[in-house]
Chains A and B, each alone.
Chain A
Amino acid sequence: MDLYYIKGILILTGINMIAVLGLSLLTGFTGLFSFGHAAFMAIGAYTAATMTVKFGLPFIPAILIGGIAAGLVSIIIGRLTLNLKGDYFCIATLGMGEAIKLILDNVQYFGGARGWPGIPLNTTLLIVVIFDILAVIVLINIINSRHGRNMIAIREEELASQIIGINVFKYKMMSLIISAVYAGIAGGLFAHYMGFLQPKMFQLIKSTELTIIVIFGGLGSISGSVLGTAVLTALPEILRDFSEWRFVIYGAAVIFIMVARPQGLMGGQEFTFQGLKRLVRRVIPQKKTLPHSGGGN
């Protein structure tokens, strides 16, 4: 068991987690499906790298600028697409994702399809963990606020929310922007972990991976997203010994989760101490209620 390898996986998990947390606000709490979020990661990544490499900015500000850049782009995208319904929005986000990747492939300033090596390796496990904690805290605050409740209302019943006066468009836009900023920050951290960027790191498959994790962890649950990221980032590594069968198992696992437990790991609940106590009590039967129990009596 070696820490260097494990640390690498933990860093990647932590980075994914930030993007997933952002996406969970959009999909889990506001009910909008996006298949283009990898593009926001890409924007964050390339912007942050540009700041550190070409403009010599220090690391943390560069990451934040990356996040802001992603947020700004999301405003444009949101304006154009948030009025579309369900599947139409999905396809539109998918298109956006592909379009941004294609632009990056062609722009040689960013290395084009051949990629951009030589990005300083500033991301450490500590920094990622700090960002993760901050991300969770901010998200919890948003969810528990009036804004968060409005978003959940929109997810549950959009028409009714509109009737009682919630500005649906404004909240959808808000959740899109926040999710984009999160993804952008994750992208910036990713760029400075790999030291190298290529547009094909941000393909459709990455966007679908993120969405699958959100669903897996359970829509509307922050702890679900955290747990889900941990499990689903680790899964391909654990299955490494199975080489070609890795993704067969992964695909089957996804179907299984959906069929067996579609509410995801946490089922829309949060990880609380009471919940933990209840779970423990269910697992370990009370000695009072069972006539025969193992062990001394």
Chain B
Amino acid sequence: MSKKLLVLAVCVVLILTTVLAGCTSKQSNTIKVGWIGSLTGDQAVWGQSELNTIKMLFDEINNNGGVLGKKLEVIGYDTKGDATEAVNAVKRLVSQDKVVAIIGPNSSGSAIAISSILEQYKVPDIATVATNPKVTVVDGKVKPYNFRVCFIDPYQGAVAAGYAYEVLKFKKAAILYDVTDEYSQGLTEFFEKSFKAMGGEIVAKEGFKAGDVDFRAQLSKIKAANPDVIFLPYFYKEVALTAKQAKDLGIKATLMGGDGWPSDVLLQMAGDAINGGYFINHVSYDDPVVQDYKNKYYQKYGKWPELNGYLAYDAVMVLVDAIKRAGSADSEKIKEALETTNLQGITGKIMISKDTHNPEGKEAVVIKIVDGKYVFQQKYAPKQQ
């Protein structure tokens, strides 16, 4: 009997706790900023990099007097990379925690899902590495409260295709992509379109499912089609495995990819197999402009920041700049200030366009992997079509 009672009591407590979940105390001398991203799940490494960066920066800014005399406080929630979780997290941030702005997510699916809440509560969001065009513009109309600091997939695909065709003079390309991943699907579509438009030929297009670890069936098929370059628009873990397996099969084609590649883990896992590969990135890790941040991050956390960290850095800069120009911590005023952002971030020039809320004209960087190191090749912008 007492066991039943205990179980029932626990349940009642649990239900009550839901209702009382997180009554936060209010302090009017802080500016609350929300963050959402993956702290668990496959993309946890990136989410953690972002949140760590924001915490580090906020500490620094607060030690220098804060913004508008107030301290910055970040409230971060895990989305598991899941759009439903993102919606819950954002609802909590805007209605309960009363944040004035949100940084993140890095997942386009989450960024799109939260847009209606942002509009309802009039809280702006700055996405870090969400590259799906539909995050900020849907059917030609801009989403008033979504912003981002990164370039978008159509641009990235065009850069990759352009570099492969014009600079590296490759005429035949094969693509291997993750059919279940939004980023991979998007980048594939734009690469294919651009490459064909320039006159190139896609000799093979193979797919796999997230969670797969063996790509030799697809690679054998690709090998038989004899491409000059194989485009791998997905994330570093699968890229590393693909590269190793491609080498095993004796494939000689050049490997190329997008911003899902860069990570220390890629070099560690793929070792020799990835040498000679190219990828498109938002920033070059050797760029003198980023060294300060890079080293500070390493000192504090004992590992190098991931790509997301750099973009989170710029997102913070953009936000702080907007708050200063708005002259207040009012979310509507911050949103208006964001629309006229024009500053030099560590990842490049960030000039937010009022029509698209994207940083227009932001250059992409082409990086080649040589002897296990990232070597900056050039900044590249695709020719207009």
Contact = CB atoms under 8 A, between A and B. Distances in A.
Contacts of B132: 114
A240 B5 CA distance: 27
Interface of B is mostly: helix
A227 B91 CA distance: 24
Contact of A12 (B4, B88, B116, B139): B88
Interface in B82-133: 82-84, 87-89, 91-92, 94-96, 108-109, 112-113, 115-116, 121, 132
Nearest to A117: B112
A118 interface: yes
Nearest to B98: A2
B259 to A, nearest CB: 16
A121 B116 CA distance: 9
Contacts, number: 131
Interface string A100-111: 011001100000
B153 to A, nearest CB: 9
Contacts of A195: 113, 115-116
B185 interface: yes
Contact of A113 (B4, B112, B180): B180
A246 B96 contact: no
A88 interface: no
A5 B96 contact: yes
Contacts of B77: 240
Contact of A114 (B18, B40, B87, B185): B185
Given A1-B20, A237-B18, A198 B109 contact: yes
Given A201-B82, A244-B40, A246-B40, A113 B182 contact: yes
Interface residues of B, number: 51
B139 A118 contact: yes
Interface residues of A, number: 46
A278 to B, nearest CB: 10
Counting chain A CB atoms within 10 Å of each CB, which of B7, B18, B94, B181 scores highest?
Answer: B18
A282 B357 CA distance: 63
A283 interface: yes
A60 B251 CA distance: 55
A76 interface: no
Contact of B78 (A112, A121, A243, A283): A243
Interface of A: 1-6, 8-9, 12, 101-102, 105-106, 112-115, 117-118, 121, 194-196, 198-201, 227, 230-231, 234-235, 237-238, 240-241, 243-244, 246-247, 260-261, 265, 279, 282-283
Given A1-B23, A241-B22, 17 more contacts: A1-B19, A2-B95, A101-B180, A113-B181, A113-B182, A114-B134, A115-B109, A117-B138, A201-B82, A231-B14, A234-B14, A234-B18, A240-B21, A243-B40, A246-B40, A261-B3, A279-B4
